Amino acid sequence: MRSLAELIELSQVERDRTRPVSVKDRYRLCYNLALSAYCLSSAAWRRLRWCKRKTFDANVFLHHDSTTGIIHDPTEAYLSCPIEAPLPQLEAGPDLKCDLNLLELGKILVEVRFWRKPDVFSEAHGRSWEEGIRRQLGLLITDHPDLLDSESPFVDAIKACLSYEGKVAAKKKTTREFLTFFEEHILKPLSILLPDCPGAEEPKEDYLSDVETQREPLTALPHKREPGPKSARAKEFMSRMQKFAISYVNPLSVKSRTPLPEDRSRKVRIAVIDSGISSSDSEIRIALRDSDIGLGLRDRRIAGLRNFCGTSVDDCEDYHGHGTTVAKILLEAAPQAEIYIAKVTNSSTVSDDELHNVRKAINWAVQVWDADIINLSLAMRVESRDIDEALSHALLPGSKIIFAAAHNNAGHHEGPSWPGRKLGIIAIHCTDGDGQPLSTNASVGREDYFATLGLDIPIKEQFATTKSQYVYASGVSYATPIAAGIAANMLEILRHEASHRVNDVKKWFYNGRYMKVLFKAISQRDHRCCFVQPWTFWHEIISVSPRYRDVQLRSGDERNIIRVLELLAA
């Protein structure tokens, strides 16, 4: 985030790096700021300062990515609000002939329109400095050479902000008269400029991000059609995953006759941040529908969707197939989890212009969906400070579990990619079905690393217009949701089976630190590669090992598992 004043200054000193904001977007931002002021016109909220007391700089912030120089969402701004109750009263000089709140708003609107800081302090001094600013703003907009005749509604709106009539309306006992004044003399004039902004220069083609075009629905997944030499072992791995879920995960929801405690009552939630899902795929369509699960209850596997890269927030159609494949793997690997789809791109990678989509999707997954696990399979070419900040908030102690692809399938001559290398994130590498690391894995030095199946994963391709068949997906993008699915199954077991001594399962188990410990425990090791799969560990703990650490185990007792899983959190 950067303040409006900082961005305007940057646009003057870093013209080659900072992307300009078109006049159309500036007018849209002006209208949105005025609309926000209108909505914040109750007695308490009108105490908010739109400008700083001493400098009169705008107290408004926009999302600026310092890595790329792009101002993302230039029509959306954020107002800094102190956490005080109640907010202090606004204090204006005795000679001010307009409402202080409207004066600050008018100054910001002028600043946004011309994208430069107006010189309004030449007469601003002493007790009447606000009145000096008001007079200077009035002179500035009266005969400004850059304003066209067709922009007179903007001038009218600024004059209303600076008028004595606005001050009178603001002092009425009820807000109705003030709102009427605001709507008639500020909002309506600004709205006139929205459909066709006169004099607005069109942004250069270089500055346009992912122009939406008419695309054809997906009819095939982007994977090879023929099985590879190791596809039989991959098929065996996925079969074991299915059998594990049938034996140890699926029966839990039926077994629970009494309602679970509040901290355990909700299913595990997984947010997939990717290229969306194809509504043409039969399995995806079924997952999007409500289905009977007995006793009149209704359930939906894909519980939420949101588009962060287009004009319609509900349109999560996948035109590449990457996100559809990731979602289908998760639906199979974690049969009891709720899946949430966040679309951030129309390809298998994230461009520099799309980085802000990922940041918004992470925040949405955390704040709105309250996801327990976030799956990031997409490759990102650059490290983004804003995404890093969103991930850091998501990784606060006792919070989310985030899985990310560890590399870009480039092999040992490259190191781990971002955000997989970020501290706290569980980075996933690839193996074949037998747990042998692939040559496409990145070099990790002497550190241990987690890996699971990422070669020849069988995916059922079943579109409405084509015959059902299996295709074979390979790459770290598809190993990542398998790992996320294993984690979801572990949490599903813990929320049902953990003893009553564990008074808060989320605090103890729903975090990256615990999941890393658990993954290390259930992995089969090949040098530094920790091959993540649960069934060997389950067999050993139930039937083979007489004890685990200092805990005595009973041969053949399935309760051994929950004892050990709880022990790992100690």
* HEC assignment per residue over 224-251: ECCCCCCHHHHHHHHHHHHHHHHHHHCH
Clarify whether 99 is annotated catalytic. no
How far CA 206 is from CA of 187, 448, 552, in Å, comes to 32, 43, 66
Helices (H) and strands (E) in the chain, counts: 19, 21
Instruction: Find residue 298's DSSP bridge partners.
Output: 292
pLDDT for the residue 394: 93
Say which of 322, 356, 407, 496 is annotated catalytic.
Answer: 322
Sign for the CA dihedral angle at 185, 190, 195, 198 comes to: positive
- DSSP-H helix ranges across 299-432: 322-333, 355-367, 385-394
Can you tell me the distance from the alpha carbon of 125 to that of 131, in angstroms, rounded to the nearest whole number? 9
Say which of 353, 477, 496, 523 is annotated catalytic.
Answer: 477
Can you tell me the distance from the alpha carbon of 190 to that of 35, in angstroms, rounded to the nearest whole number? 10
Can you tell me the distance from the alpha carbon of 300 to that of 320, in angstroms, rounded to the nearest whole number? 24
Clarify whether 477 is annotated catalytic. yes
- DSSP-H helix ranges across 15-99: 23-39
> For every residue of 119-150, which 3-state class applies, written as one string?
CCCCCCCHHHHHHHHHHHHHHHHHCCCCCCHH
Give the helix/strand (H/E) hosting 560: helix 559-567
Against a cut of 0.85, is the pTM above it?
A: no
Residue 407 CA, chain-centre distance (Å), reads 21
Tokens 């053949």 correspond to 556
Can you tell me the distance from the alpha carbon of 451 to that of 480, in angstroms, rounded to the nearest whole number? 9
Give the helix/strand (H/E) hosting 89: none
Say which of 274, 318, 353, 456 is annotated catalytic.
Answer: 274
Can you tell me the distance from the alpha carbon of 111 to that of 55, in angstroms, rounded to the nearest whole number? 14
pLDDT for the residue 201: 40
Give the helix/strand (H/E) hosting 376: strand 373-376
Residue 366 CB burial class (10 angstroms; 0-12, 13-18, ≥19): buried
pLDDT for the residue 183: 93
Q: What is the CATH number of domain 230-568?
A: 3.40.50.200
Closest CA to 308 of 266, 273, 267, 264: 273
Can you tell me the distance from the alpha carbon of 357 to that of 337, in angstroms, rounded to the nearest whole number? 24
Write the CB contacts of 484 (distance below 8 Å, at least 6 apart in sequence): 270, 330, 333, 334, 373, 375, 403
pLDDT for the residue 261: 85
Cβ atoms 403, 428 nearer than 8 A: yes
Q: How many CA atoms lie within 13 A of 245 on its CB side?
A: 20
Can you tell me the distance from the alpha carbon of 544 to that of 535, in angstroms, rounded to the nearest whole number? 13
Clarify whether 274 is annotated catalytic. yes
Closest CA to 88 of 52, 47, 117, 58: 47
Where do the DSSP E strands lie in 474-528?
524-526
- 570 residues of the chain, pLDDT tens digit each: 788 878 877 776 555 455 668 888 889 899 999 998 888 876 556 667 778 766 777 878 887 777 667 787 788 888 777 655 555 556 777 788 999 989 999 999 999 998 888 776 655 555 577 888 898 899 888 878 778 888 899 999 999 999 999 999 988 877 888 999 999 999 999 999 885 444 334 433 333 334 445 578 888 999 999 999 999 999 999 999 999 999 999 999 876 667 888 888 899 999 999 999 999 999 999 999 865 444 444 478 999 999 999 778 899 999 999 999 999 999 999 999 999 999 999 888 888 878 889 999 999 999 999 999 999 998 787 788 889 999 999 998 667 999 999 888 777 767 788 899 999 999 999 999 999 999 999 888 777 899 999 999 999 998 876 678 999 999 999 999 999 999 999 999 999 999 888 878 888 999 999 999 999 999 998 888 999 999 999 999 988 877 787 778 888 888 999 999 999 998
Give the helix/strand (H/E) hosting 528: none
Every domain range in the chain assigned CATH 1.10.510: 2-83+92-193
Every domain range in the chain assigned CATH 3.40.50.200: 230-568
Domain 2-83+92-193 = CATH 1.10.10:
no
Cβ atoms 307, 272 nearer than 8 A: no
- DSSP-H helix ranges across 162-248: 164-170, 176-182, 188-192, 231-244
